[in-house]
Structure 1
């Protein structure tokens, strides 16, 4: 059990399970983007650990960029996604892989979709470490899913609760 601010969290997904999910996604990306030069775009802050592990495992040439989006306050989504740091490189005509820590409502993906359509990318796919199918309300395709989880609030491996918990190497869920 761990305490972050005013909430308690209990162990939920082990380092080994996370490692297996990262390996599975990475193997598929290596197969799908063999002999290509994709741009990996990590969605900060949460995806930094996942993005690092996927990019380290990519066997070909690639480029890396990040965007920073914000939609959470405490344990709840605000429903509004703000672009805090936008794209800083040309992606027109390029193949892009979005690296997300978690997809729940899909609001962030919808905002990223608007940005990438405006930038005229050739193609983009989404890779997410965690996916909450119960919470997902959008129709955008998610090509690579590491672990499907119920609609529970989690922290660790890049995910936080009001800034804390990102450095944890396993994932914890909120104690009910």
Structure 2
């Protein structure tokens, strides 16, 4: 696959910055406080959803000052595309979660099919409680279920194609130090 790096750079250069690094870091700190208040005595198992959740999970963990186990799961519907397809499990959780509190951390709650499937899997494995934390909750009416909400979220975003802070544009810009909206989307 040939990548047009000039195009990739142009995407960032022309994008609208919706949230800067300082605003995002404050949101993560606030999420950490809320999660600590609710889960500090529950010995939770914290799962990072790869690849999008790696930035938020890494930063969020430093604000969770209580005992926890951290691991990851890899399930996707996007495979570096702009729209989602069928759920693809690449790595399922391997820890015993029977009777445990599980916190699933991801970059975004868009339609929520991936997050919903991971939550269902954890419940099927016997987790006593499954909670979700996302950096971004995208505001629209296309959720997998009408009542689908993250237990913890940092920011709300209008219904645009966004990237940065773990969210990608065709596999790139997860490392962008803000949350940006694609021009025209």
Common fold, TM-score beyond 0.5?
yes
Report SS of the residue matched to 1:28. helix
| Aligned pair partner of 2:83 in 76, 80, 88 | 76
Whether contact under 8 Å (1:36, 1:60) holds in the other structure is: no
Q: Does 1:113 align with 2:131?
A: no
Give 5+ residue unaligned stretches, structure 2: 1-5
Q: What is the TM-score of this pair, normalised by structure 1?
A: 0.91
Match of 1:21 in 2: 27
Deviation at 1:5, TM superposition (A): 6.9
Whether contact under 8 Å (1:3, 1:9) holds in the other structure is: no
More strand by proportion, 1 or 2? 1
Structure 1 outlier segments of 4+, above 6 Å: none
**Quick one: structure 1 residues 56 and 110, their matched pair in 2 at CA, closer, same or farther if it must change by over 3 Å?**
same
Match of 1:93 in 2: 99
Match of 1:65 in 2: 71
Deviation at 1:111, TM superposition (A): 1.0
Over the aligned positions, Cα root-mean-square deviation in angstroms equals: 1.7
More helix by proportion, 1 or 2? 2
Match of 1:35 in 2: 41
Report SS of the residue matched to 2:154. strand
- Cα distance in 2 between the residues matched to 1:158 and 1:62: 22
Q: What is the TM-score of this pair, normalised by structure 2?
A: 0.87
Deviation by residue 1:56-80 (Cα, 9 ceiling, x = unmatched) = 11111000011111111522122x2
Give 5+ residue unaligned stretches, structure 1: none
